[in-house]
Structure 1
């Protein structure tokens, strides 16, 4: 058998030189927020179910839904809804064949992120 000299090199060299890009981040955030909305929906459904079951059970669900945890979940869900809405509009714009160049895609990405935060704050203030 031949004596082969192994060269020590990284397993994934692309991970050392790859740079995160905004369109990639917004795509990942769309998937994460879509799945995270399930938590808010489950909490709301549990609250409604508890209201139908009885006052003792509703008191527990209402205590969770109105606690800091419930506020955090519902505020995060509100942001996720706005983010999903704006990302969907951006995607429709992409589907029309527009905004596909890198500078425009990055501006639209920032618009979705900043717009969703601003709309969330406005909704919280108005409601």
Structure 2
């Protein structure tokens, strides 16, 4: 039977059959399989990385404007107001919290601040 010999409309009551093709996605509804491990199991819980603090220390070598610009260039998304507040706190108190983040980012931000000639350390945030 050629394609032109097939009827264009299926007669009422005629069943439609589908053939499975290897590798083709199935249209059958998929029911999720439940894992034998419960969500409360300690081995499946996500553990957050412990935060570390990046501390800026005051020095007498850098101008206040330089410190603010270095903070803004070193820490992504730091606003001018936040950078000025961190700089002023370090100037008045001797040190200031820049931010708390995972260790790898804290090390990166510390190195960026050091590259601008600032004094910065990392402490574990308990």
Does TM, normalized by the shorter one, top 0.5? no
The two structures have a TM-score, normalised by structure 1, of 0.25
**TM score, norm. by length of structure 2:** 0.25
State the structure with more CA Rg: 2
The structure that is helix-richer by fraction is: 1
